Amino acid sequence: MARASDFADYVYANTTKRHEIRNIDISQRRRRLQLGKITHRDIELFLCHKWTLKKLGKNAAQDWSSYFVDESTEKPSKIFSASRLRIGSSSLRCVPDIVLFNRQENKFLIVERKTTFVPEPRIPVNAWPNVEAQLWCYSWIDEFQDANDVISIGEFWHRHSGGIQLIHKHWAWLRSDPVHNARCAEMFKAYGGDISG
């Protein structure tokens, strides 16, 4: 079974400095219970966030509708396929946290939630490569192929002794960005993956 999360784990293991590994925890699914289920209210809060309004426009909340929300804590409610990305004969399997759709612009927006022990000022400028790589896989999900573009967003939560707090900065990538695509494609091929189309 080929999974986008396994590719992200590979990228993480090959790009994160050894001393950072014990301090960083970005395995979102293992922390789902602490973050709680993703609700429509969470989506509304995200869309009304200053960062989101700046990036997506002032009418963001009205333009985007929920396409998929993974509210499961153990077994995903749906598994998507990215058949353009293959490991051997297997298509990559993907389970994003939140997918929104803008019908007017024919665009998808993917939000992946991650937790970290690293405070916001110490997070790398471009986030961690494994987060970018996982979201890149999601942007090639079969159901999104005909979209004008796919916006992928890493939403980070800082874990500390007092609980969990949303980090104000989010990291975003466009499927249409050739630099982003080339960087992730190179990592995917090094992982042993094939890209078709």
The Cα–Cα gap between 159 and 34 comes to: 10
pLDDT: is 20 or 108 the higher one? 108
Give the CATH number of the domain where residue 57 resides: 3.90.320
Judged by average pLDDT, the poorest of 5-9, 14-18, 82-86, 190-194 is 14-18
The whole domain housing 36 covers: 4-195
The Cα–Cα gap between 169 and 82 comes to: 28
In the prediction, which pLDDT does 140 show?
97
- Answer whether residue 189 shows pLDDT above 60: yes
Query: What digits encode the pLDDT tens for the residues 117-127?
Result: 877 777 777 77
pLDDT: is 49 or 87 the higher one? 87
In the prediction, which pLDDT does 114 show?
81
Structure tokens at 4: 């986008």
Can you state the angle between helices 178-190 and 4-15, rounded to 10 degrees? Answer: 90
Query: What digits encode the pLDDT tens for the residues 135-188?
Result: 999 999 999 999 999 999 988 877 777 777 777 777 889 999 999 999 999 999
Please give the tally of structural domains in the chain: 1
3-state secondary structure of 158: strand
Distance from the Cα of residue 92 to its chain's centroid: 15
In the prediction, which pLDDT does 26 show?
43
Burial 15-24 (b: 16+ CB within 10 A, else e): ebeeeeeeeb
Query: What digits encode the pLDDT tens for the residues 18-76?
Result: 434 444 444 544 554 445 445 445 655 665 566 665 666 655 667 888 899 887 667 77
- Answer whether residue 108 shows pLDDT above 80: yes
